[in-house]
Amino acid sequence: MSQPAVPAIRRRSLGTPRLHLTTAVVWGVPLFLVLFTLPFILHQNAWWEWQSHYWLLERQSAYVAAHGTPTFFLHISTGAFYPHNLFYAGPMLAALAYPAAVIGPWPVFVASIIVAVLAGYFGMWWTARNLGLSRELAVLPAATFAATPYVACEIYGRGAWAELLALSAVPVALGAVTALLWHSERRRGGPLVALVLCGATIAGTHNLTLLMASRCFRSRPAARPTARAASGRRSSRSLSALG
pTM of the predicted structure, to 2 decimals:
0.71
Q: Could you tell me which residues come within 8 angstroms of residue 110 by beta carbon, excluding any fewer than 6 positions away? A: 41
Domain boundary assignment for the chain: 27-218
Question: Tens digits of per-residue pLDDT, 82-135?
Answer: 666 667 788 898 899 999 999 998 889 889 988 998 999 999 999 999 998 988
DSSP conformation letters of 134-158: -TTTTHHHHHHHHT-HHHHIIIIIS
115, 185, 130, 122 alpha-carbon torsion, rounded to 10°:
10
Residue 226 zone, left/alpha/beta (φ > 0; ψ -120 to 50; rest): beta
pLDDT digits (tens, 9 = 90+) for 24-81: 666 677 777 777 777 666 665 555 555 678 888 888 899 899 999 888 776 666 655 6
Mean pLDDT across the chain? 76
